A = this chain, B = another copy of it.
Amino acid sequence: MSAPTRRAWTDIREEIRARILNRTYAPGDKLPRDEDIAAELGCARTTVHRAMQDLSQMGLVERKRKGGTHVRTDPVTRATFDIPITRREIEQRGSKYDYQLVSQTMEDSPMSVMARFGIQQPARMLHAKALHLADNRPFIFEDRWIDTRSTPGILGIDLTRESANEWLVRNKPYSRVDVRFYAMTAEGESAEHLATKPGDALLVIERTTWIGNDPITTVQAVAAPGYQLSAET
């Protein structure tokens, strides 16, 4: 057997993970020291350390200096979602992407938007509503506010041609983002543009971004009925 003795740190991680799954290390248990595991598995402590870091980030174990490593008793399900720009998402499904600007005005930010940004004073913002279509069917209706103080460049953009979503993603990196999901009943504008009956349940993805402490944009993206968001494996 020329099986390489090479042990990627991911292998070590999987070995430890397996032991946690099969209860060699049960919930609440203290694991051996990195050094001892390293000795047992025939690798360096750094390798075990790297594996443990990952397991710790996955939420499977808890590590404390001196205290050692413990298997978490209340494992949380940790799910990571990739939220691409809408055009990309639609194109990846193999559908044709279209985009329509619904409205575009300058307004002082209302309380709800100030709350999302965490600001005390209203600010002059660009308020744009737009519809993203997949194969000519409404896919996502977005209601967006953009702070023109942090992002004056948006004022020079023809939003009937390029979506704010896309322009922002390419031209305005953010340092902090807040993402939340909730359900909303279709009514008024959202029902109208998504061509659904009022009363249907719709999934909303709300995203707010800042650069430093300065608000950039906040958007309510309302998905058409049936939309599902699923985690990366």
Top 8 A-B pairs, shortest CB-CB distance: A201-B201, A183-B183, A183-B201, A180-B230, A79-B179, A183-B203, A77-B83, A179-B231
Q: Which chain B residues border A59 with CB–CB below 8 Å?
A: 82
Q: Which chain B residues border A189 with CB–CB below 8 Å?
A: none
Query: Considering only CB atoms, which chain B residue lies closest to A229 in the complex?
Result: B181
Q: A73-B170, A173-B75, A211-B21 are contacts. A182–B203 as well, Cβ < 8 Å?
A: yes
Minimal beta-carbon separation of A171 from chain B (angstroms): 9
Interchain CB contact under 8 A, A181 and B228: yes
Contact string against B for A residues 71-85, beta-carbon threshold 8 Å, 1 for contact and 0 otherwise: 001111111111111
Minimal beta-carbon separation of A61 from chain B (angstroms): 12
Q: Which chain B residues border A174 with CB–CB below 8 Å?
A: 21
Interchain CB contact under 8 A, B231 and A178: yes
Q: Which chain B residues border A186 with CB–CB below 8 Å?
A: 201
State whether the Cβ of A193 lies closer than 8 Å to any Cβ in chain B.
no
Minimal beta-carbon separation of A7 from chain B (angstroms): 18
A184 to B78, CA, bound (A): 23
Interchain CB contact under 8 A, B233 and A178: yes
Minimal beta-carbon separation of A54 from chain B (angstroms): 10
A173 to B182, CA, bound (A): 28
Minimal beta-carbon separation of A162 from chain B (angstroms): 14
Interchain CB contact under 8 A, B231 and A180: yes
State whether the Cβ of A175 lies closer than 8 Å to any Cβ in chain B.
yes
Q: Which chain B residues border A79 with CB–CB below 8 Å?
A: 80-81, 83, 177, 179
Interchain CB contact under 8 A, B227 and A182: yes
Q: Which chain B residues border A230 with CB–CB below 8 Å?
A: 178-181
Q: A83-B76, A88-B74, A179-B230 are contacts. A202–B201 as well, Cβ < 8 Å?
A: yes
A181 to B79, CA, bound (A): 11
A–B pairs, 25, beta carbons within 8 Å: A21-B173, A21-B175, A23-B173, A73-B170, A74-B88, A74-B169, A75-B173, A76-B82, A77-B179, A77-B207, A78-B80, A78-B82, A78-B83, A79-B81, A79-B177, A178-B231, A179-B230, A180-B230, A181-B230, A182-B228, A183-B184, A183-B203, A183-B225, A199-B199, A203-B203
